[in-house]
Structures are given as C-alpha cells and as structure tokens.
Amino acid sequence: MNIMFDTANLNKIGTYSKIYPFAGVTSNPSIIKKEGKINFFSHMRAIRKIIGKDRTLHVQIVSQTCDQMIEEAYRLVDKLGDIYIKIPVSEEGLKAIKVLKENGYHITATCIYSKIQGDMAILAGADYIAPYFNRMENIGVEPRNVIKHFANIIAKCSSDTKILAASFKNIRQVTDSFENGADYATVDPDLLHNSINAPHILKATEQFSEDWYSIFGQNTSILELKD
C-alpha cells in the first residue's frame, strides 16, 4: 500500500512531502494546466529535486498516434532522466507501450476505464496500470470489481505490473481501492489534508488537550512535568 501525489504544484509537493509517506508524483496535461503557462521541463526538474531520486515521477505524453507517442517518450526521458512515461490505453497507446517496453522504458498505462484495457496493458508489460476509480463510477462501471479483477490477473500471470489506482473524489474511494487489491493510489494531497483534518478528528484531539490541562494546568506539556 503506497500513496503517490497527483499534482504538479511545487508548494503542495514541498509541504506535504514533509507530512505524508509517499512513493512518487504523477501528473497529466490537465494537472499541468492548473499550474499555468510554466516552463515544462524546468518545472518537472523542480519536482524531481523536491522528491529525490528514490521516488518515481510519472509524466504523460500528449500525442495520440503511436509514432508520435514514442518520439515524445524519447524526448521526455532525454530531458528528465529516469521517469515513468504515462500512456493512455488506446490501440495506438498499446502499440507504443510494446515498443517502449522492448527498449527498456518505464511505462504507466493510464486512462483505464475497463477490465480489457488493463488486461491488455498487463500483457503489454506496463509497469503500472492506472484505473480511473471515480470516472468509472460516473459511467456505471464498478471500480472495486475492476481493481479486484486486475489483482487476480496479475497474480495468475505472475506479472510484475502494479495497480496504481487514480481519479478519486473522496478518501473512501482511496481506501476501497486498497482493500480490493491496488498497490498504489495517486491522490491530490489536498484530499489527504482534508481527510486528516476532518472536524471530528480535530475535536477529539482538542478534547484530549483540554482534559490534560484541566489536571495539570493550561498549556502544561509533558516536558514540563517533574519526575
């Protein structure tokens, strides 16, 4: 069970990397759009500097034809080094995944809405598959069953592919993805922040402090107690 940050915001990554255990950062063109007109390669290098070399960085191609996808992948790796190339699972995408994997590139197969997409990406050798949890729910597909299916297929095939669940509206979807076999979930750090800082959690911690202070005095910490 691992978390990745689904954002390209440098402030968020810097702030939340000090709080939450995380395995990497994922991005896509829609996430990049939120940052405005940035210097793309410099921005990605800045993310790498924050997260270090031991965490994974996943960057998505833009083109929709196999040949152009491959050329974009080459350029991304040339400019950014050891990254995972995110490729949507279309027919053109599957062609590109096969070629790139044969040449030793790291691949995250993304934009997965169905079992057959994930199955084909597993067979093509993708390192990660990214099923879209909330988006599947929105079109009437049960994402828990899809993720469980992928977990079973990966086990039966003794595949090294990891399930990187994505597209979450609430934290229950995240935990459900883990319960059904996801290895990773890529989550906007704001969703983690809002979940950990829910009012009932804050109220409980405040009550513990109030009870302590009622005995030992206002703002008296454990460090101030005499042995």
226: annotated active-site residue: no
Query: Which residue type is seen at 74?
Result: Y
The values of phi and psi at residue 219, to 5°, are 65, 20
Active-site residue, selected from the candidate residues 34, 53, 86, 169: 86
Residue 37 token pair: 């007109």
Q: How many residues does the chain have?
A: 227
In angstroms, rounded to a whole number, what is the distance separating the alpha carbons of residues 177 and 166? 9
Collect all residues with Cβ–Cβ distance below 8 Å to 134 and sequence separation of at least 6: 143, 167, 168, 169, 173
Residue 9 token pair: 């915001």
Is there a contact between 97 and 126 (Cβ–Cβ < 8 Å)?
yes
- List active site positions: 86
